Chain A
Amino acid sequence: MSASWLLRRLALILYTVFIVSVLVFGITQALPADAAVTLLGENATTEALNAIRERLGLGDPIWWQYLRWVGHAATGDFGLSMRTGQPVGPEMLTALGRSLLLAVAAILVMLVIAVPLGMVAAVRQGKLADMATGLISYLGVSFPEFVTATLLAMLLADTLQWLPATGYVSPLEDFGGAVRHLALPVLTASLILVAHVARMVRSETLDVLHSDYIRAARLKGLPERTVLVRHALRNALLPVVTIVALDVGYLLGGIIVIEEIFAIPGIGRQLMVAVTARDLPSIQAGALIMSATYAVANTLADVAYAVLDKRIRYD
């Protein structure tokens, strides 16, 4: 991994964020909402409306409005929420923190389930365990998050009363409560990922198991366990890093629905609230922060891949 490769990746992130910012700004500008009317209400006088338009610079050319928005956004200033009047940036970042907690927990739970599942399926190819994994994968990718979430909440919260159905507790205040409140959302988020990743681990492991070095390890007389864990697992897991990074995109989209259903004040729910209220600054900030997070996750995955796999040289 050379410095110029890293630099190019960084340039790509910047380009990505630029395109996304144009996209987000363009879309939100086209929103059929007059910011001044949203702020002051339908009954405001024309003078008041004009005054606030002047203050927000709504009369300026569109490219100038864009540059001003980007310039402020770069310093973390996304303007004031039209709904609460509070600065949007800090509000969104706090929400992002909660969402990341949910996302990271979901990825960890997913790995703990999906990796063994995929490995077992590969080792016992064509047997019952393999078919069961295939079935789980199919079901997993065929249930949208809102269905999984609703069904799980129905079973575990309403019927069995094991877990709270909604709400969020900070893990810093009450760790046990936080775990209980996060259990359902994390379970929902990880199910789709499990389906995806277990399938990938299976096919990667199959590839590796048919390779020469595994045959060599077996011929050396190494016990099957050592062959699987020391030789196969490591190499099969490499491509999974990339898949997990791509799945972060799914996860971020899924989080919008999951947070809405389980009433978690993360960035997805903030965004939904903003969309419903046509709160432009919040929509812009939320969309930009989410997309940037995804872009960064992808780059991190590429770097991790390069660090883990000594055979790969990027230059």
Chain B
Amino acid sequence: MTDLLRRLMRTPQGAISLILLAVLAAACLFGPWLAPHDPEKMDFLGRFRPLGAQNWFGADQFGRDVLSRLLVGARSTLPMALAATLLGTVAGAVVGTASAYLGGRWDEAIMRTIDAVMAVPGLLLALLLVSTLGNGAGNAMLAIAVTFAPGMARVTRAVALTVRGQDYVKSATVRGESASWIVFREMLPNVMAPVVIEATIRVSFAVMLFATLSFLGLGAQPPASEWGLMVAEARQYVHQAPWMIIAPSLAIATTAIAFNLLGDGLRDAMNPRDER
């Protein structure tokens, strides 16, 4: 683990991503204490106050400090995206490994069904699910998890197929281990590395998808300072206060970049021979 971290630090992507992630983690953990102002405090004299000493990233239509709202808002965005990815990855990994283990017709049927589910564009599926479950951050998170599961299942299956032929799986079968033992204890741990890389890159999609759902009014609800929601609310003040749009936009993009870089960095760190 420490070896991996060291190798990760040596790639430029890895180093940059770890720095960005440290900042994001700090915002999530200590946001309310780092924030220079109370994010909910209104100040009608300071409406649309531009960037300056008093409000580093400017103020919004109620005179609330944009930077403070961003810092506190990290909590409504990042943990949700992480939870959605984790849930979707675990579900997908179990289905994918099971499909590879079962093989034959079952594998064929499961994979064709997954292909079919993936024919529904991700945002559309998430949209349908949220409209069924009801608007809200938790439901948006669940919807994203369900949307991610088929893709993760496909990736896991591809890896698990190569694992299936290995001697330790064969010997477990010969030992007479149960199917669930073989899937969970023998195969799953050995498919984790590529799956983790894929999942890391997915976090950036999850961040963007969650922000998009909130932007559309289906995810986090006001008065939360979720970043997508902040962009949606800021759109009508584009003439008075463009920074209200730019600040949360950059926050979303930075987070997505951080996880994209981390995924690429992990890939390089785990396959040192692959030059490209």
A contacts, CB < 8 Å to B: 12, 15-16, 18-20, 23-24, 27-28, 30-32, 138-139, 141-147, 150-151, 153-154, 158-159, 203, 206, 249-250, 252-254, 256-257, 260, 271-272, 275, 278, 283, 287, 290-292, 294-295, 298
Is B179 part of the binding interface, using a Cβ–Cβ cutoff of 8 Å? Answer: no
CB distance from B214 to the nearest CB of A (A): 10
- CA gap between A266 and B134 in the complex, in Å: 24
Given A16-B115, A142-B260, A158-B239, the answer on whether A23 and B127 have CB atoms closer than 8 Å is: no
| Inter-chain contact A31/B122, CB cutoff 8 Å | no
* A257 surroundings in chain B (CB, below 8 A): 123, 212, 215-216
Is B132 part of the binding interface, using a Cβ–Cβ cutoff of 8 Å? Answer: yes
- CA gap between A1 and B118 in the complex, in Å: 25
- Which listed residue, B119, B249, B254, touches A151 by the CB 8 Å rule? B249
- CA gap between A278 and B115 in the complex, in Å: 28
Which of B121, B238, B254 has the most chain A CB within a 10 Å cutoff? Answer: B121
| Inter-chain contact A287/B122, CB cutoff 8 Å | no
CB distance from B267 to the nearest CB of A (A): 13
- CA gap between A20 and B118 in the complex, in Å: 9
Interface residues of chain B: helix, strand, loop or mixed (majority):
helix
Given A138-B257, A150-B231, A271-B127, the answer on whether A19 and B116 have CB atoms closer than 8 Å is: yes
| Inter-chain contact B238/A158, CB cutoff 8 Å | yes
Given A20-B116, A249-B121, the answer on whether A142 and B257 have CB atoms closer than 8 Å is: yes
> What number of residue pairs across chains A and B have CB atoms under 8 A from each other?
135
* B185 surroundings in chain A (CB, below 8 A): none
- CA gap between A294 and B117 in the complex, in Å: 11
Query: For chain B residues 194-247, which have a beta carbon within 8 Å of chain A?
Result: 204, 208-209, 211-212, 215-216, 228, 231-232, 235, 238-239, 242, 245-246
| Inter-chain contact B208/A144, CB cutoff 8 Å | yes
- CA gap between A253 and B127 in the complex, in Å: 10
Complex: chain A residue closest to B13, CB-CB: A138
* B249 surroundings in chain A (CB, below 8 A): 143, 147, 150-151
| Inter-chain contact A143/B131, CB cutoff 8 Å | no
Is B6 part of the binding interface, using a Cβ–Cβ cutoff of 8 Å? Answer: no
| Inter-chain contact A144/B252, CB cutoff 8 Å | yes
- CA gap between A41 and B245 in the complex, in Å: 38
| Inter-chain contact B121/A253, CB cutoff 8 Å | yes
Is B273 part of the binding interface, using a Cβ–Cβ cutoff of 8 Å? Answer: no
- Which listed residue, A18, A20, A32, A203, touches B132 by the CB 8 Å rule? A32
Complex: chain A residue closest to B218, CB-CB: A275
| Inter-chain contact B260/A154, CB cutoff 8 Å | no
Complex: chain A residue closest to B113, CB-CB: A19
Given A15-B116, A23-B117, the answer on whether A283 and B122 have CB atoms closer than 8 Å is: no
* A291 surroundings in chain B (CB, below 8 A): 119-121, 124
| Inter-chain contact B252/A256, CB cutoff 8 Å | no
* B231 surroundings in chain A (CB, below 8 A): 146-147, 150
* B117 surroundings in chain A (CB, below 8 A): 19-20, 23
| Inter-chain contact B121/A150, CB cutoff 8 Å | no
Is B193 part of the binding interface, using a Cβ–Cβ cutoff of 8 Å? Answer: no
- Which listed residue, A18, A28, A159, A254, touches B128 by the CB 8 Å rule? A28
- CA gap between A282 and B239 in the complex, in Å: 36
5 A-B pairs in the complex with CB atoms less than 8 angstroms apart: A28-B132, A141-B260, A143-B256, A256-B121, A287-B124
Is B253 part of the binding interface, using a Cβ–Cβ cutoff of 8 Å? Answer: yes
| Inter-chain contact A154/B245, CB cutoff 8 Å | yes
* B10 surroundings in chain A (CB, below 8 A): none
| Inter-chain contact B124/A146, CB cutoff 8 Å | no
Which of A18, A144, A203, A250 has the most chain B CB within a 10 Å cutoff? Answer: A144
Nearest 8 interchain pairs by C-beta: A253-B123, A19-B116, A144-B208, A253-B121, A142-B256, A16-B116, A142-B257, A252-B121
Is B276 part of the binding interface, using a Cβ–Cβ cutoff of 8 Å? Answer: yes
* B170 surroundings in chain A (CB, below 8 A): none
| Inter-chain contact B116/A30, CB cutoff 8 Å | no
Is B129 part of the binding interface, using a Cβ–Cβ cutoff of 8 Å? Answer: yes
| Inter-chain contact A31/B131, CB cutoff 8 Å | yes
Known: A256-B123, A278-B131, A291-B124. 15 other contacts (CB 8 A): A20-B116, A20-B117, A24-B128, A30-B132, A143-B253, A147-B231, A147-B253, A150-B249, A154-B245, A250-B122, A256-B124, A256-B127, A272-B127, A287-B128, A291-B119
